Chain A
Amino acid sequence: DAKTTQPTSMDCAEGRAANLPCNHSTISGNEYVYWYRQIHSQGPQYIIHGLKNNETNEMASLIITEDRKSSTLILPHATLRDTAVYYCIVRPSSISNFGNEKLTFGTGTRLTIIP
């Protein structure tokens, strides 16, 4: 019952910005958008998350539309090491559950960086 829709795969040229889209049209007001990536079968690596506002950190930027029904993860200068499966996850967070709710992973987007 994944709440997000992502393309199955994408390619991006090395050095270019990689823009990974995610649709979450049924998102609720207390649900955050999280992005993780997984290289081979290593543990998923946290990238970034946000609620309403756009977010930026040392790894990526997250652009959330005003209606919150979709978002885009941007890797500004993709390198070969960014080749991975990228997961967009909608996760509720409420005081009643201490802000904790499990992450439900979908199938993600397999991003391949082309030399």
Chain B
Amino acid sequence: GAGVSQSPSNKVTEKGKDVELRCDPISGHTALYWYRQSLGQGLEFLIYFQGNSAPDKSGLPSDRFSAERTGGSVSTLTIQRTQQEDSAVYLCASSKTGLGNTIYFGEGSWLTVV
């Protein structure tokens, strides 16, 4: 596929369960970003990976949220002990390096915590 791929597209989970969301960036893109968007709200930055550098975790809302990126490609966002306020669409994006590069977004993973 040519674009950023995310899975699952939709996930319904019970409060207190852990969830994992996967992102497959565009081939050759070294930078990877996670955002989330609650219903009717704006996009909120969560975390950013660049190559082998330490990730920028400044946007993670709590220690229940973590993310990793293995082999500089696929990334997994994990939410532990999910709460109802975690319900949102989680968006992944990727880009090449270089000045004025373009960030491309996936279609998102819709998470509903019941």
What residues make up the interface of A, taking CB atoms closer than 8 Å to B? 32, 41-46, 49, 51, 93-95, 97-100, 102-107
Given A44-B43, A98-B31, A103 and B100 contact (CB-CB distance below 8 Å) = no
Residues of chain B touching chain A, judged by Cβ–Cβ distance below 8 Å, are: 4, 30-31, 33, 37, 39, 42-43, 45, 48, 50-51, 56, 59, 89, 91, 93, 95, 97-108
Q: Are A98 and B97 in contact (CB under 8 A)?
A: yes
The A interface, classified by DSSP as helix, strand, loop or mixed, is: loop
User: Chain B residue with minimal CB distance to A107?
Assistant: B42
Beta-carbon nearest neighbor of A87 in chain B: B43
* Interface-centre pick from B30, B37, B95, B100 (highest chain A CB count, 10 A): B100
Q: How far is the CB of B83 from chain A (nearest CB, A)?
A: 20
Residue of A with least CB distance to B92: A43
Supplied contacts A43-B4, A103-B103, 12 more A-B pairs, CB within 8 Å: A32-B100, A41-B39, A41-B108, A43-B106, A93-B99, A93-B101, A98-B30, A98-B31, A99-B98, A102-B48, A102-B56, A102-B59
Residues of B within 8 Å of A32, CB to CB, are 100
- Which A residues touch B4, using CB under 8 A? 43
